[in-house]
Amino acid sequence: MADSSAGLEKAPLGISAEEAKPPARSRSFSMASLTLGRARSALSVLSVFTLLSVLLFSAISSAKLHKFNKFANADRQQYLIGVGKADITGPVVEINFAGYANLDQTGSGLRQRLYSRAFIIADANNPNDRFVYLVLDTQSGDTAMRNGLLDGLKALGSEYSVYGQNNIALTGTHSHSGPGAWFNYLLPQITSLGWDKQSYQAIVNGAVLSVQRAHENLQEGYLDVGSTDISDGAINRSLWAYLNNPDEERAQYNAETDITMTLLRFQRASDGKNIGVLSWFPVHGTSMLGNNTHASGDNKGVAAWLLESAMADDPNAAEGFVAGFSQANVGDTTPNVLGAWCDDGSGQQCSLENSTCADGKSQSCHGRGPEFQALDLGVKSCHEMGRRQFAGAQSIYNSIDSSGTPVTGSSVKSFHFFQDMRYFNFTLPDGTKAQTCPAALGYSFAAGTSDWPGAFDFTQGESGNPDNPFWGVVGGLLKAPGPQQVACQQPKPILLDVGEVSTPYAWTPNIVDVQMLRVGQLVIIISPSEATTMSGRRWKAAVAKEAATFLDESPIVVLGGPANSYAHYCATPEEYDIQRYEGASTLYGRNELNAYINLTVSNMHYLLPNSTATPSQGTLPPDNRNSMISFITGVVQDSSPLGKNFGSVLVQPHPTYSIGDIVNVTFQAANPRNNLRQEQTFAAIEQQGSDGSWTQVRDDSDWFLVYTWRRTNFILGQSEVDITWETYGNAQPGTYRVKYYGDSKPLIGSISSFTGTSNSFRLS
């Protein structure tokens, strides 16, 4: 049985469904009759006893076959499915992190490598109808990144020409703790001091490789959707704005954030093993605080790591199982579920209205994660919030055979086009004319949020002039908005009129990606903005209503983003009126959500089962990759003090530790920007076997193994690395040693690799 189906594991691409379809049922019958046929021909020579044995064997086989038929059931819809994962870790030191826009948050090391996870779904009868959904451990998708991915796939040759603008959805998990400086637009480059080619290329290379891997293992399989509620997975960080949505609308929901996780399981047909899952759940990637400087995938990175690790021991999971934890309508959600508190000694919660404290300012207002008392820059809270999503996903996974919904309907469709949001005119469902505006940010943008307050003296909900002269000057330099823009953006008081300036190049997108994907009754909205809870609900409801007009099954609608570009936020008009951070960051004005709904819903005919058309792509957004400004300097040189080599151990581990201790080893180091070691590791733990040999048991993917780099002499380019193993996490007793992999750059000459190895130590 296993042998006969093994050849189907990698169905060749382009093969027709009839040729490739494993004739599961008929094969089970022919196998059975073959067994019986053999039994018959053997009758004359074999004893009755042997015949009984054969019948018994046959019965066992049928039982096995019956089990096989549970997943190879001809009634189930087959698709071509593929999953792939690759390392996108960029320069983890000396580059500002993307997300908090905190100038001081410059990388100093790595807690967990960052990944791109790619999921391909194709129509088995019509394999060119396919899409690829990517989940990157990044703050968002991005136009430069997406162009890089398109270029990279093109370079792989004609086999990859099935992937293009229409069917690539590039989403970010919204982690706030990865290197930045890769954005296509200027505004998010301000705190990173510009663009960094290495940071950009690291993400692009890994994204391309993840798609390539998913493409290479494209095979026949089934899709099932399940869901569960994770009631402690997030809270609403902008309740005051949320409460401005109509009472009767809010009354339809049992929580102020969407607490349902939706999960899509990918099961291969060849042997019924699961090759991956892709889930959607909205919660900000802000468990790691704005003063953390170790790169990680934040809570979704933890969830993915935990589930992929668990699946390594699951008999129903295939090797190389990929777990994508995608972001959803994240806008006003926070993982800091204990609420926002004033760190000013008052013991008070921040004001509901403006997230301010007794001084009237937002600087001391901080959201608290479940383990905030650890005072560890969010590490333990992050693990816990990741664990909650992991547990939710695992519970769906464990019950999906009985309580999940099979995805049915053979067709796989997608559409994508670019829409210029500057004064885009459209009609609301009630017949009123509406318009969006050139991008602009309101005053509360600069206040930040309770996940990390802004550096300047603004408060959320502020409508007057700020006291802070810096922002006044920057705002003025940009351009004072004209009367048309001021009127269009009402009631937003404009701080930064970013959509009307293109010097030195565009500051934020005016042209956004409008995209949707559909497989069977699963409909996926791809949002370039961080939709708030209620925005996502309205958008999904409008899409579901339209989808129901042409689908046989009731539609399952999810929203993924921020994707393809980074178009900041999307609040409802009522939330917009409140002008907290999310409303102030709703770039295109009060009608942004309704415009997104109009643009998606009115193009859903491209998702009809019989549709062969694709929309015209519209005006392409600016590709700034060749005009970027940068003040980021490269590595000049590395050197080590006299008598020390690169990789020398400066501080050895103790001879013995107890589980729970922190092992900390310091090495003479070089700058990790010399070699990103993608698909490899900077840090490792090796365990000694009974024969004395060493085996690597932990690497950079492990949450509890931490790599910290620091410069010790700027002029001479000297540096040190600490490799820290938090054995309270997942360590087992044994004999271990620490390894450090580095690469040094001489002033003249080429970069060379080195290794450091610590003394061994005993953990018990």
| 351 lies in the site for ligand NAG, by CB under 6 A | yes
> How far are the Cα atoms of 206, 322, 681 from residue 86, in angstroms, in the given order?
5, 10, 13
- The tokens 């733990």 sit on which residue? 685
How far is it, in rounded angstroms, from Cα 282 to Cα 403? 22
Q: How far is the CB of 491 from ligand NAG (least distance, A)?
A: 12
666 belongs to the binding site for ligand NAG (CB under 6 A): yes
Shortest CB 549 distance to ligand NAG, Å: 9
What is the radius of gyration, based on Cα positions, of the chain?
27
Q: Is residue 110 involved in binding ligand NAG (CB under 6 A)?
A: no
Considering the complex, what minimum distance in angstroms separates the CB of residue 142 from ligand NAG?
25
Token couple for 145: 């990144």
Nearest distance from C-beta of residue 256 to ligand NAG, angstroms? 4
Q: Which residue, 238, 407, 406, is CA-closest to 333?
A: 238
Asked if 447 and 458 touch (Cβ cutoff 8 Å), the reply is yes
d(CA 2, CA 274): 16
Instruction: Please report how the helices 533-548 and 592-601 are oriented relative to each other, as an axis angle in degrees rounded to 10.
Output: 20
367 contacts 355 by C-beta, under 8 angstroms? no
Cross-strand partners of 435: 425
Residue positions forming the annotated binding site for Zn(2+)? 174, 284, 530, 569
Binding status of residue 241 toward ligand NAG by CB under 6 A = no
**Identity of the residue, 87 or 722, whose beta carbon is nearer to ligand NAG in the bound complex:** 722
Q: CA torsion, points 366, 371, 377, 383, in degrees to nearest 10?
A: -120
Cα separation, 373 vs 30, whole angstroms = 64
Work out which of 140, 327, 354, 591 binds ligand NAG, going by CB under 6 A: 354
Task: Give 173 or 598: the residue with its C-beta nearer to ligand NAG.
Answer: 598
Place of tokens 């900077």: 682
Q: How far apart are the first and last CA of the chain?
A: 45
Confirm or reject binding of residue 602 to ligand NAG (CB under 6 A).
yes
* Residue (61 or 364) nearer to ligand NAG, CB: 364
Residue 548 lies near ligand NAG (rule: CB under 6 A)? no
Residue ranges for the binding site?
174, 284, 530, 569
Under rule CB under 6 A, residue 348 binds ligand NAG: no
- Say whether residue 487 binds ligand NAG (CB under 6 A): no
| Near ligand NAG by CB under 6 A: residue from 608, 649, 697, 751 | 608
Name the segment binding ligand NAG (CB under 6 A); options: 60-68, 181-189, 235-243, 727-735: 235-243
For residues 215 and 537, which CB has a smaller minimum distance to ligand NAG in the complex? 537
Give me the 328-347 binding string for ligand NAG, x by CB under 6 A, dash otherwise. -----------x---x----
Residue with smaller CB distance to ligand NAG, 164 or 339: 339
Kindly state the smallest distance separating residue 425's Cβ from ligand NAG, in Å. Answer: 4
CA 672 to CA 90: how far, in whole Å?
Answer: 10
Q: Decide if residue 236 touches ligand NAG (CB under 6 A).
A: yes
- Which residue's structure tokens are 């809010």? 250
Q: What is the 3 state secondary structure string of 524-585?
A: EEECCCEECHHHHHHHHHHHHHHHHCCCCCCCEEEEECCECCCCCEECCHHHHHHCCHHHHC
**366 is a site residue for ligand NAG (CB under 6 A):** yes
Burial class (CB in 10 A: 0-12, 13-18, 19+), 201: middle
Nearer to ligand NAG, 575 or 722 (CB): 722
CB of 620 to ligand NAG, least distance (A): 17
Rounded Cα–Cα distance for residues 408 and 18 (Å): 18
Among positions 230, 289, 323, 498, the unique one binding ligand NAG when judged by CB under 6 A: 289
Among 252, 610, 616, 695, binds ligand NAG (CB under 6 A): 610
Interface residue with ligand NAG, options 105, 724, 727, 758 (CB under 6 A): 724
Nearer residue to ligand NAG within complex by CB, 354 or 485? 354
Q: Give min distance, CB of 283 to ligand NAG, in A.
A: 10
Written as six digits, the tokens of 359 are: 């001084």
Whether 710 and 667 have beta carbons less than 8 Å apart is answered as: no
Per CB under 6 A, which region of 41-49, 163-171, 563-571, 661-669 contacts ligand NAG?
661-669
Please state, in angstroms and as integers, the Cα–Cα distance from residue 133 to each residue in 130, 326, 717, following that order. 10, 10, 42
According to the binding rule CB under 6 A, does residue 239 interact with ligand NAG? yes
Nearer Cβ to ligand NAG (160/426): 426
Considering only CA atoms, which of 693, 680, 722 is closest in space to residue 705? 722
C-beta closer to ligand NAG: residue 87 or 451 = 451
Answer for the pair 447, 350: CB distance below 8 angstroms, yes or no.
Answer: no
Strand ranges, E, within 240-316: 260-268, 274-280, 294-295
Number of residues that bind ligand NAG (CB under 6 A): 38
Rounded to 5 degrees, what angle do the CA atoms 417, 419, 425 make? 135
Report the residue number, 282 or 475, with the smaller CB distance to ligand NAG.
282
Looking at 127-135, 485-493, 600-608, 680-688, which segment touches ligand NAG (CB under 6 A)? 600-608
Q: How far is the CB of 619 from ligand NAG (least distance, A)?
A: 11
Beta carbon of residue 188, minimum distance to ligand NAG (angstroms, whole number): 21
Q: Which is nearer to ligand NAG, 307 or 543 (CB)?
A: 543
Is 353 a binder of ligand NAG (CB under 6 A)? Answer: yes
Q: DSSP character for 257?
A: S
Among 109, 282, 335, 461, binds ligand NAG (CB under 6 A): 461
| Cβ–Cβ < 8 Å for 120, 278 | no
CB-nearer residue toward ligand NAG: 61 or 664: 664
DSSP summary character for residue 200: H
Tokens 């468990």, residue located: 287
For the four alpha carbons of 478, 482, 487 and 488, in that order, the dihedral sign comes to negative
Residue number, nearest CB to ligand NAG? 427
- Pattern 411-450, ligand NAG, x by CB under 6 A: ------------xxxxx-x-----x---------------
**Where in 167-281 does DSSP place strands (E)?**
168-172, 178-179, 219-229, 235-236, 260-268, 274-280
Shortest reach from residue 488's CB to ligand NAG, in Å: 10
Identified binder of ligand NAG from the candidate list 651, 689, 716, 733, rule CB under 6 A? 651
- Using CB under 6 A as the binding rule, whether residue 589 contacts ligand NAG is answered as no
- Contact residues toward ligand NAG (CB under 6 A) are 235-236, 239, 255-257, 289, 291, 339, 343, 351, 353-354, 356, 366, 377, 423-427, 429, 435, 459, 461-463, 598, 601-602, 608, 610, 651, 662, 664, 666, 722, 724
